[in-house]
Amino acid sequence: MRLLPGLRRAALLLSLLGLAHTLWHGLDEPGVALAFGLLMVVGELSRGRGVQGREAAPLGAAGALAYALLGENDGRPTGHGVLQVVAVVVAAALLGCVPHVARGCGSTVDHLTRRVLTAAFAALCFQPLYNRGRLLEWSGPSYVLLLVALLVVTALCDAVLAAAMAHSRTRWPFGPLLRDELRALPGIGAAVCATGVVMALAVGVVGLWALPVFSLPLLLAQLSFRRYAAVRTTYRQTIASLARATEIAGYTPAGHARRVAVLSREVGRELGLGESDLTVLEYAALMHDIGQLSLVDPVPGGATAGLPAAEQRRIALLGGAVVRQTGVDAEVAVVVERQADPYREQPVGARIVRAVNAYEEKVREAGPGGPLRALAELRLGTARDYHPEVVESLARVLSRDCLTLPEVG
């Protein structure tokens, strides 16, 4: 895909133009630029991983948007333009990213690309109109509504940009990625936009002292999101530990549940499932074999795909009962319970888990030519056992990995 390199080159070109223009002409109102720059540096230094890859530096994003939409400082008009906004955002983001780069954390290049392009878009929508006096007739509520509208448009463009970059990087379907980004906007995205508007308006009235005051709520919100992310991580680790019970007891091979979960998530992405559905699918894939703990004699190799249909259903129902007792989401239990049903009656998650589990078991048994042979057997079983669309999606995912099972970190 050429989209991601193109976006990176565009961000780099904008950054160089902004820095060159600012170095040549100097900073307009250096105190204002320094204050907003420090705010963005603090925001980048406090950058975390974010929930499901969402905005990881909300304070930095809010500061960049506020500076891009800043019209007045303590009642006096400002004169900085689009290129100075880009220069300040780039300089602050680079300084704030130094510790993250040193620790090797996160995708810094893509983060900087999004930050620069989003701030440049917001500044391009506002600064030329303001500096030419086109917004003099806007005052009071109408001016506030204008800033809110500009931030909404900017947030939508940022969502499209994030989905496009993820699509180019991973080759996952663009539609579900965009849907997930739009669904995330009412969360931390709304907090970022609201803080950006309030900062721009407050600085215009009371000056730069408004920045630390209105940064505090967003810092508290960021802390809450980090705690939520930590809870989600602990929850997933708990489920993964439960899934290992079958491996420890000798019912399934080591790493089987993790491999099925990784590959199931990839197939779900290929089929266009959203983030919440993918989470349910991953948890169900991790726990799909837990019903085998009820067996007196383990199935050889843990391969349930070759068992009679009645025995498969019994193990699946027992597994669903165990999942329900653990307090995991009921949707996960439904997928586990119905993984052995006829595929025409199954939910999408159960279809995926069944096909991926069978593929992994057949590959393990087939030897060197396992991947192609396993896919051929799955295609032969699409008349009764495996959904054709799921099998073809699995084939497309595997073709990108050269017909191998994914590595699990």
The amino acid at residue 189 is G
Kindly report the backbone phi and psi dihedral angles of residue 311, in degrees, each rounded to the nearest multiple of 5, phi listed first: -70, -40
Q: Do 203 and 197 contact (CB within 8 A), yes or no? A: no
CA distances (Å), origin 5, targets 1, 126, 166: 8, 27, 12
In angstroms, the CA 308 to CA 301 distance is: 16
Q: Do 261 and 289 contact (CB within 8 A), yes or no? A: no
From first to last of its 409 residues, what are the pLDDT tens digits of the chain? Answer: 578 888 999 999 999 999 999 999 988 889 999 999 999 998 888 876 554 445 567 888 899 999 999 988 888 888 888 999 999 999 998 998 888 777 766 567 888 899 999 999 999 999 988 888 787 777 778 888 888 889 889 989 999 998 898 888 877 788 888 888 888 888 777 888 888 889 998 998 888 888 988 888 888 877 887 787 788 888 888 888 888 888 888 888 888 889 999 999 999 988 888 888 899 999 999 998 888 887 777 777 777 777 888 888 888 888 888 888 887 888 998 999 998 888 888 899 999 999 999 898 888 776 666 788 888 888 888 888 889 999 999 988 888 765 554 444 3
Nearest to 31 by CA among 267, 208, 225: 208
> What is the structure's pLDDT at 275?
84
Residues in the chain: 409
pTM: 0.79
